[in-house]
Amino acid sequence: MDPHEIAAVLSAFTIAQRQMLLILEALLHDNKRITHIPVDAGHRIRQLTYFRMIHASDLNCLRALDGTYIKVNVSAADIPRYRTRKSEVATNVLDVCDTNGGFVFILAGWEGSTVDSRILRDALSRPNGLKVSKGYYYLRDAGYPNAEGFLAPYRGQHYHLQEWRGVENAPETPKEFFNMKHCSARNVIERAFGLLKGRWAILRGKSYYLVQVQCRTIMACCLLHNLINREMSYIEELDDEDDGDSTHATTSGDDITYIEPSNEWTEWRDALASSMFTEWQLCNQ
């Protein structure tokens, strides 16, 4: 390839890169940006597929949250901070999704070495961060503490769905049954991650862009993911279990702003697990 051809290729690449950055800017400043959707008690999770609220309480399970690693390009000095436990250089992205697998909150940019609980605390402390109204909660994995507004599974118990396959592996205790139902419900965000990364190769492979650009790319891909989910008919829409209106009025003062495990929250989880297990046993007699 002669110098003129090389120059032409480089020029075309530069123009394409510039256009991509302009598109990212337009997407992230569009009025359909990702915002935190206000809580709606009518937007409950369907019984057979998702976590079922049985306990006689006004607490409502709304969505699921989790973190995922997406590779980034950083300077040599920053590599140790962005290196994950699997030795990949990545950002640890906090995602919150609704019951249809759409993303309602994204926080990208934290170093891959950062623990999930610290990122969650940062999300709660930001002025326009994650909003969790008291009386509602998110499902999350055991990497986060079990605290008000964030319901985690029991540690030291079976959790993954494949562990429950077969009649001989049916849950035998309230904690096991709770974990099985919790995993089934929280799996919505795992499917969302799979769809997101399956659609956008730029989120799967090595990144050649600065971390700031890659984080904007992550946001743009999530916006497009939501658009596809909303417009494409093959994405199943889940029916609400409860069509009633919420009676829980919320204000900014009702929001949970920090993570603090408590005996009250632990006791509530134990009571919920016991109620769920008892009803399941009665239904299977």
Per-residue pLDDT, 60: 76
Task: Tell me the average pLDDT across 189-205.
Answer: 91
pTM strictly above 0.85: no
**Would you state the structure tokens that stand for residue 107, as one six-digit string?**
């926080």
Single-letter amino acid code for the residue at 157: Q
Per-residue pLDDT, 50: 36
Looking at the chain, the whole-number percentage of residues with pLDDT higher than 70 is 72
172 pLDDT higher than 70: yes
Look at phi and psi of residue 205 and say left if phi exceeds 0, alpha if psi is from -120 to 50, else beta: beta
The model's pLDDT over 92-108, given as tens digits with 9 standing for 90+, comes to 999 999 888 899 999 99
Q: CA 119, 123, 124: angle at the middle one, nearest 5?
A: 120
103-111/90-97 β-pairing: antiparallel
Looking at the chain, the whole-number percentage of residues with pLDDT higher than 90 is 32
Per-residue pLDDT, 23: 56
82 pLDDT higher than 70: yes
The model's pLDDT over 223-255, given as tens digits with 9 standing for 90+, comes to 999 988 888 754 444 333 333 333 233 344 577
Single-letter amino acid code for the residue at 62: L
Give the span between the Cα atoms of 284 and 259, in whole angstroms. 37
Per-residue pLDDT, 218: 93
